[in-house]
Amino acid sequence: MESTRERPVTMADVARAAGVSRTTVSFVLNDRSGVNIPGTTRERILHAAEGLGYRRNAAAQALASQRSGLFGLVTEIVTSPFAADVIKGAQWRSWEDNRFLLIAPSENEQMMEAAAIEKLLEQRIEGLIIAASWHQAIEVPENAHQVPCVLVHCFDESGRLPSVVPDEESGGRAAAQELLAYGHREVAHITLPPGIPAQVGRLRGFGAELSAADVALPDQRIVAGDGTAESGYHGAAELLDGPNPPTAIFCGNDRMAMGAYDAIKERGLRIPHEISVVGFDDQQALADSLRPGLTTVALPFEEMGAAGVRKLTAMTTGSRDTSSHLALDCPLHRRSSVGFALR
Amino acid sequence: MESTRERPVTMADVARAAGVSRTTVSFVLNDRSGVNIPGTTRERILHAAEGLGYRRNAAAQALASQRSGLFGLVTEIVTSPFAADVIKGAQWRSWEDNRFLLIAPSENEQMMEAAAIEKLLEQRIEGLIIAASWHQAIEVPENAHQVPCVLVHCFDESGRLPSVVPDEESGGRAAAQELLAYGHREVAHITLPPGIPAQVGRLRGFGAELSAADVALPDQRIVAGDGTAESGYHGAAELLDGPNPPTAIFCGNDRMAMGAYDAIKERGLRIPHEISVVGFDDQQALADSLRPGLTTVALPFEEMGAAGVRKLTAMTTGSRDTSSHLALDCPLHRRSSVGFALR
DNA sequence: CTGTTAGCGCGTTCAA
DNA sequence: TTGAACGCGCTAACAG
């Protein structure tokens, strides 16, 4: 029984079949610039490769050339509802750039994240993207520094690593614009936990756009929340029960908007007829369960993923990209929670 | 300037540092069974590797061992809203199985799909998953047969390739159960294009569950749709304007449910008070824009992705898995479009 | 412009 | 148990 092991055809086979050396084959198959190979030879090689069913071996190429053509992405894939969008954007962009994207789950346990990166490093990735589930300063694992690294939806304190984050201020402005367009002048805001980028940016953008339209946002109209539905409920209650209730509330995130809905309905007010609400994050599962549908500002996850890869490609191809901190606009997603102001 | 090129440390370096041969290092690092190595030597090697910061080179290992540890997944990542869920399930499962998942976009152009697979093959994937955007029989590209291959959300006519599909019938049954639970006995169905698995299964399951409860589903109550909102509109109109309008409509998909909503509202009927609607597919973006929220049957994308990988792992590790055609349950997602029957 | 030669880092057989 | 030697498939100097 002579087992003719179906051995995969190699460059040597192609060279033999075409009557040339492996080098020539390599040159032709990678059509290297700066080498002029007779059209006939070229044809012959291509034809032989085709005929034999030759297929490049990426591992061999990676080993020999010291370049894997791989990018890595660590993200909270299982627990974060947003991770899929970042992956989608990054994945597509990588493919366009003729690279594969390796994904590794971090689930934000610091240990696991380092381990995940380690796995990626074993694959000799040429670049790494670390994506966080919320806009924050992160502690970058030591081993991440062994390859070009881009931070997505987060940044490091030192600011040494390039990052791609949402422009929270633009989101705040978008919310304000929408409310202003509907004639609201008595507006309020329920904030996120103080100090985090999302809290600072969203409020700042909101306030700036309002004041540009000569609409005041006094301190009594800014109540502190902590991001939970619970705090949204209390925040809205405080605003509505106060001496001068607003006609519209911009909530620092969708969860708080959910809480606000409860407080509003509890008081017999109708959304959007008597009061308008704008959220932030565009959480599908959440906006989905709210009645009426929540008009909210979305985070540009897909774009951030793509931008991260683009930046990585730029870095690995040597083009020194100076604009290393990118902030992407947060667009408004209209649903049904904003109506015309009564006052 | 003696540039001490920071050459990555190899097994040879570890061997030298530990005073043993590369073979021994290889044995220890891969803790090969059937080899007894003195605890001391073992310790010494591990220590040396740690100290030198040794990191395995996946490409070299793949090349030498002829096993890449990679699985491939082709899917319509950019155009299909469901692809992300399949990816999520498959990705997570692969990681658990200690493998990386390579994703390639197909966008259902037959040419592009083959090209995508070709790229994956160059990476020497050990298994391939082909995922479709709707449950259908597909033409499997020739090159897909060069590695173990599992079909997700689709199947090949010949039935030779293992597949993981949604159990459409279970979804039809779930819809019926929900309506029955709310006391509906006058129910109708708007079908998908005739013949496709989703149409056949959903209707069959729906009908079976009804008849098990002694509820009739006469032919006049089954109107043909084609999957578009337009056809849903007309189907619902036909049902509502007929001699004996139903109290509940099960639509073959969400898009048709959207159309049905219009016909219903146009006739001054309220959902779910006067008529109930159940959809199929659980399309976020769609169910999100409907008022009231659409109760609908979901396709188990994440589970299908995971099951596909699991099957692949089983195949590549040789365990002959006979149950090669897997059908996963479709669970109901309750929102607000089902209410108690008035009649 | 083409062929020769030497690695890339690791798995694995075969002796010792 | 350990070490020497070869091969995996390809890239890249360096000659010719």
pLDDT tens across the length of chain A (343 residues):
333 446 789 999 999 898 888 888 998 888 876 667 777 888 889 999 999 999 999 999 999 999 999 999 999 998 898 999 999 999 999 999 999 999 999 986 778 899 999 999 999 999 999 999 999 999 999 999 999 999 999 999 998 999 999 999 999 999 999 999 999 999 999 999 999 999 999 999 999 999 999 999 999 999 999 999 999 999 999 999 999 999 999 999 999 999 999 999 999 999 999 999 999 999 987 876 788 889 999 999 999 999 999 999 999 887 665 568 999 999 999 999 999 998 7
Mean pLDDT of B34-53: 86
Q: Is the CB atom of residue A20 positioned under 7 angstroms from any atom of strand D? A: no
Residue-level pLDDT at B81 = 87
Mean pLDDT, chain B, as a whole number? Answer: 93
Q: Is the CB atom of residue B29 positioned under 7 angstroms from any atom of strand D? A: no
Which positions in strand C are less than 7 Å from the protein's CB atoms? 1-5, 7-13
Interatomic separation, CA of residue B63 and C1' of nucleotide C11, rounded (Å):
9
d(CA A172, CA A208): 9
Continuous segment of H or E residues that includes residue A187: strand A187-191
Q: How far is A62 from chain B (nearest CA, A)?
A: 6
Q: Is the CB atom of residue B33 positioned under 7 angstroms from any atom of strand D? A: no
Mean pLDDT of B64-87: 94
Name which of A170, A163, A151 is nearest A330 in CA terms.
Answer: A170
pLDDT at B4 over 80: no
Q: Rounded to 5 degrees, what are φ and ψ at B93? A: -65, -40
pLDDT digits (tens, 9 = 90+) for B264-277: 999 999 999 999 99
- Does any CB of chain B come closer than 8 Å to the CB of residue A78? yes
Which region among A5-14, A251-260, B164-173, B254-263 has the lowest average model confidence (pLDDT)? A5-14
Length of chain A, in residues? 343
Mean pLDDT of B138-153: 95
At B200, the pLDDT band (50, 70, 90 cuts) reads: very high
- Does any CB of chain B come closer than 8 Å to the CB of residue A18? no
Name which of B265, B263, B260, B302 is nearest B279 in CA terms.
Answer: B260
**Coil, strand or helix: which one is B186?**
coil
Interatomic separation, CA of residue B100 and C1' of nucleotide D11, rounded (Å):
26
- Does any CB of chain A come closer than 8 Å to the CB of residue B88? yes
At B73, the pLDDT band (50, 70, 90 cuts) reads: very high
First to last CA, chain B: 92
Q: Is the CB atom of residue A39 positioned under 7 angstroms from any atom of strand C? A: no
Closest CA in chain B for residue A53: B143
Long-range contacts of A43-48 (CB under 8 A, 24+ apart): A44/A18, A44/A19, A44/A20, A45/A14, A45/A18, A45/A20, A47/A18, A48/A14, A48/A17, A48/A18
- The answer to whether B206 touches B176, Cβ cutoff 8 Å, is yes
Q: How far is A56 from chain B (nearest CA, A)?
A: 5
Residues of B in contact with A77 (CB under 8 A): 88, 91-92
User: Could you please report the per-residue DSSP string of A237-281?
Assistant: HHHHHSSS--SEEEESSHHHHHHHHHHHHHTT--TTTT-EEEEEE
Out of A92, A101, A284, name the one closest to residue B288 (CB). Answer: A284
Q: Is the CB atom of residue B61 positioned under 7 angstroms from any atom of strand C? A: yes
Q: Is the CB atom of residue B244 positioned under 7 angstroms from any atom of strand C? A: no
Q: Percentage of chain B with pLDDT > 70?
A: 96
Read off the DSSP letter of residue B57.
-
- The answer to whether B153 touches B165, Cβ cutoff 8 Å, is yes
Residues of A in contact with B101 (CB under 8 A): 103
At B293, the pLDDT band (50, 70, 90 cuts) reads: confident
Q: Rounded to 5 degrees, what are φ and ψ at B210? A: -65, -50
d(CA A175, CA A278): 7
Type of residue found at B185:
R
d(CA B44, CA B87): 42
pLDDT digits (tens, 9 = 90+) for B114-130: 999 999 999 999 999 99
Mark yes or no for CB contact A68/B55 under 8 Å: no
At B194, the pLDDT band (50, 70, 90 cuts) reads: very high
Mark yes or no for CB contact B124/A57 under 8 Å: yes
Q: Is the CB atom of residue A41 positioned under 7 angstroms from any atom of strand D? A: no
Residue-level pLDDT at B6 = 64
Residue-level pLDDT at B320 = 64
d(CA B86, CA A171): 31
Residue with tokens 């976020």: B284
Closest CA in chain B for residue A91: B103
Residue-level pLDDT at A4 = 40
Cα–Cα separations (whole angstroms), residue A257 to A78, A249, A279, A296: 25, 9, 6, 9
Type of residue found at A302:
E
Read off the DSSP letter of residue B183.
T
Interatomic separation, CA of residue A52 and C1' of nucleotide D9, rounded (Å):
16
Residue-level pLDDT at A322 = 54
pLDDT at B195 over 70: yes
Interatomic separation, CA of residue B320 and C1' of nucleotide D4, rounded (Å):
39
* Burial call B13-35: b when 16+ CB within 10 Å, e when fewer: bbbebbebeeebbbbbeeeeeee
Mark yes or no for CB contact A88/B77 under 8 Å: yes
d(CA A301, CA A75): 12
Mark yes or no for CB contact A124/B57 under 8 Å: yes
Interatomic separation, CA of residue A285 and C1' of nucleotide C9, rounded (Å):
48
Mark yes or no for CB contact B123/A58 under 8 Å: yes
pLDDT digits (tens, 9 = 90+) for B84-105: 999 999 999 999 999 999 999 9
Q: Is the CB atom of residue B20 positioned under 7 angstroms from any atom of strand D? A: yes
Residues of B in contact with A104 (CB under 8 A): 95
Find and give the residue nearest to D5, measured CA to C1'. Answer: B23
- The answer to whether A128 touches A188, Cβ cutoff 8 Å, is no
**Number of CB atoms found within 10 A of residue B230's CB:** 15
Interatomic separation, CA of residue B148 and C1' of nucleotide C4, rounded (Å):
39
Residue-level pLDDT at B107 = 86
Q: Is the CB atom of residue B58 positioned under 7 angstroms from any atom of strand C? A: no
- Does any CB of chain B come closer than 8 Å to the CB of residue A288? yes
Read off the DSSP letter of residue A50.
H
Mark yes or no for CB contact A122/B57 under 8 Å: yes
Residue-level pLDDT at B147 = 95
Q: Is the CB atom of residue B16 positioned under 7 angstroms from any atom of strand C? A: no
User: Could you please report the per-residue DSSP string of B237-254?
Assistant: HHHHHSSS--SEEEESSH
- The answer to whether A186 touches A246, Cβ cutoff 8 Å, is yes
Instruction: Report the nucleotide nearest the CA of residue A65, measured to C1'.
Output: D11
At B323, the pLDDT band (50, 70, 90 cuts) reads: low
Residues of A in contact with B335 (CB under 8 A): 288-289
* Burial call A123-143: b when 16+ CB within 10 Å, e when fewer: bbbbbbbbbbbbbebbebbeb
Which of A77, A122, A296 best tests the B interface by mutation, with the highest count of B CBs <10 A? A122
Residue-level pLDDT at A321 = 59
User: Which class for A267: exposed (0-12), middle (13-18), buried (19 or more C-beta within 10 A)?
Assistant: middle
Read off the DSSP letter of residue A9.
P
Out of B92, B291, B335, name the one closest to residue A78 (CB). Answer: B92
Q: How many CB pairs under 8 A join A and B?
A: 103
Mark yes or no for CB contact A92/B100 under 8 Å: no
- Does any CB of chain B come closer than 8 Å to the CB of residue A85? yes
Q: Can you name the residues that pair with A316 across neighbouring β-strands?
A: none
Whether the predicted model's global pTM rises above the 0.85 cut: yes
Q: How far is B110 from chain A (nearest CA, A)?
A: 17
Q: Is the CB atom of residue A35 positioned under 7 angstroms from any atom of strand D? A: no
pLDDT at B109 over 90: no
H helices within chain A, ranges in order?
11-18, 22-29, 39-52, 58-65, 83-96, 110-122, 168-181, 197-212, 229-241, 254-266, 284-289, 301-316
Instruction: Report the nucleotide nearest the CA of residue A124, measured to C1'.
Output: C9
